[in-house]
Amino acid sequence: MALEIGTDVPWNAAWSGEESYEVRPCRHVSGRLALWSPHRPGAGRPIFARPHMVRQRRSIAEMRCTVCGEVTIESARWWFPRGDWIGEYWMSTEGPVHSGCAELALHTCPTLRKTAKPPIRFPSGARAILALVGGAATERDFGIKVLGRRIVGHLKLGWREPEFLTAD
């Protein structure tokens, strides 16, 4: 049975047929150099645990739902609060979701069901933050030599005062 994107597999998940990396300017980070993979959703098998690099940045830059890929409007924008403190910001690579899509994801994804806190209204005050890649891990994981270049990996969301963490 064919897997359907947006139902069986989230829009932002990478597929094994997309697993090759290059460095290219990316329009989702103002044309900066960024890790790039081909866009071939449906090719090979889905890799649920790993978002596709370009779609991940796009979901944050355009506030697209990570499950269905459609733009979320502010009044109907939900979010799984997953992240960590890095310096002065609580940062996350999670893009927003629609509430119906969040329910679907919780229903179909065992990892999410086990580990995720329930989705919340998308918290205000977020800044988009560029996460640069570098070091030995970049060469090992992506086969990319950084060579002193500033290369963006994920686009993150960061909050200086993440009041949603203490809301409950």
Compute the distance between CA of residue 22 and CA of residue 13 in angstroms, rounded to an integer. 18
Compute the distance between CA of residue 111 and CA of residue 123 in angstroms, rounded to an integer. 23
Residue 38 three-state SS = coil
Residue 9 touching Zn ion (CB under 5 A): no
For residue 69, what are the CA distances in angstroms to 41, 89, 109, 157? 12, 26, 17, 18
Closest distance of CB 17 from Zn ion, Å: 23
Q: Quick check: 17 and 27 in contact, CB under 8 A? A: no
**Selection from 56, 52, 32, 120 nearest residue 82 by Cα:** 120
Stretch that binds Zn ion, among 13-21, 37-45, 59-67, 156-164 (CB under 5 A): 59-67
Stretch that binds Zn ion, among 17-25, 81-89, 100-108, 150-158 (CB under 5 A): 100-108
Closest distance of CB 66 from Zn ion, Å: 8
Residue 68 touching Zn ion (CB under 5 A): yes
For Zn ion, give the closer residue by CB, 21 or 48. 48
**Of residues 9, 34, 53, 65, which one binds Zn ion by CB under 5 A?**
65
Positions touching Zn ion (CB under 5 A) are 65, 67-68, 98, 101
